[in-house]
Chain A
Amino acid sequence: MPPVIEAHGLTKRYGSLTAVDAVDFTIDAGECYGFLGPNGAGKTSTVKMIHCSSPITAGDLRVFDLDVREQPRSIKQRIGVCQQEDTLDPDFSVRKNLTVFGRYFGIPARQAGERSRELLEFIGLWERRDARIRELSGGLKRRLAIARALVNEPDLLILDEPTTGLDPQSRHQVWDRVRTLRRQGKTILLTTHYMDEAQTLCDRLVIMDHGRILVEGPPADLVRTRVGREVVEVWGFPPALVAHVREQGWSFEADTHRLWIYTDSGEDVFEAIARRFPSEGCTVRMAGLEDLFLKLTGRELRE
């Protein structure tokens, strides 16, 4: 079976700005694939080329083994997109938003009606089917946008930052639905700048920055191979500690106040430094995606 998405040297330039810089990736059927990266990394630009809303500048991009330049309609017929911004129709009710969207895919009215009901039940909005969009909270709107992206029973679901701006409860509600879809075997492409979201939802992911893919793989593997098993985090430490860490050849990151030492044996490192270099605090914890992310993209503030 050919991959669902195959990109080679995929490039997007806006004037002199290169938003996506010759990236390669392959997404297989049935996996939840993540694009993780800070704002402006090129995630949304990549996604827009995949759903044929933005022409590719260079390279090659095939979706369902079809060229995005040649068969955008056939590709779009089989994908569902939940965009970052709210694009729901404010003049329509909750249910009408789904049926009108179904019409764009050529779904007969009756079938669209049945499908809307299933989807509204799935996201827990059937009771509010006649509500206006402006009466919905941000979390409900996002769930409705996801439901709308499913109206054509897509073979590929694209979720562009599906939980950005949502409160914690709403985020978990969204995750819950995404997990269910994943269990059902749906191929999902997800962009996010939340580590926990990528870690909990993605089978495989790439970390993007400045239009480039920095690493690719299953999140747990990436953390283990690139960061190590554990992190010793020290704050309020004497400058001598940094020199010592360098001497030992340990992998580390530091800012003005905190120091992170990446290691496979956190306890040993902790023992070795805790007494010798008195600090305000020192702790050992499991390494996570956030450590990998910050290690790769640096700690300077963006935007």
Chain B
Amino acid sequence: MSVADAVALVRNVSPRSLRVWERNRDVYFVTWKTNLFPPLAEPILYLMAFGAGVGALVKQVQYRGEMVGYTAFIAPGLLATQVMFQAFFETTYNTFVRMHYQRTFDAIITTPLSLEDVMAGELLWGATKGAIGTALMMLAISAFGLLHYPHALLIVPFSLLGGLFFAGLGLCFTGLVPQIDSFNFPTFLFTRWAQNLANALPLTHVANVIRELGFGRVPRDLVWDLLYLLVLALPLNVFGIHLMKRRLVK
């Protein structure tokens, strides 16, 4: 993909992409019962497990030079994984289902929407799913008193950016994988040697910002975290659209 390709592709994105966002939103409301529960229940399960289980052993952890409660440390991390999972799952599994099984995109591109519009709508919706999931999870976590407002409110708009990043990453995979079973997570990230690598990975940056906001402060290194996500999210999104276009336009 050349720069000229990327420019042409971005120019094919119009406000009509919001129609795809609306379509996905409408489906979300039709199937709300299955959508609402996990982000609300997950943190409660995790916090109880970590709080009563691991938390009984590890009372406090050192974080940026100070001691914080273990569950207070874990909670923003849960939010960060929520941003990632919601957005990534949306533009991998769900986009794949719409593309391959429901042939939704085939139908939409016969209307005035371009394929770029459709993919941009998918990406925006993926980011939105990240924000919705995060907001729901925040409700549950706040019940434990683990978030400090009003700073924590900024987590919601921030999760849109984090979501956009992971939505773009997901779409790249969807543009490449041969079949839906191919979406798997790189488990090597959980081994010790990859710790340094992990620090360079996007979720670390998402988690940093959410954790600071959750603690009720202005995130240190905020500019760098935002810059990291912004600078990578845009090309990732464009590349995702490019790959999907290559896959779908025959």
Contacts and interface: CB of A to CB of B under 8 A. Distances in A.
Contacts of B106: 53, 83, 85, 87
Nearest to B29: A91
Nearest to B118: A104
Interface stretch (B15-23, B177-185, B236-244): B15-23
Contacts of A72: 114
B112 A77 contact: yes
A51 B110 contact: yes
A287 to B, nearest CB: 37
Contacts, number: 68
A100 B112 contact: no
Interface string B101-119: 0111011111111100000
Contacts of B249: 53-55
Given A83-B110, A100-B23, A104-B113, A54 B103 contact: no
Contact of B26 (A53, A73, A83, A100): A100
Contacts of B102: 87, 89-90
Nearest to A152: B111
Contacts of A81: 107, 110
Given A76-B112, A89-B102, A104-B112, 16 more contacts: A53-B109, A55-B249, A72-B114, A73-B112, A74-B112, A76-B113, A83-B103, A83-B110, A86-B103, A89-B23, A96-B26, A104-B16, A104-B108, A104-B113, A106-B16, A148-B107
Give the contact-size bracket for chain B.
20 to 34
A92 B26 contact: yes
Interface in A81-120: 81, 83, 85-92, 96, 100-101, 103-106
A100 B103 CA distance: 15
Given A72-B114, A91-B30, A91-B31, A14 B16 contact: no
A202 interface: no
A14 B249 CA distance: 11
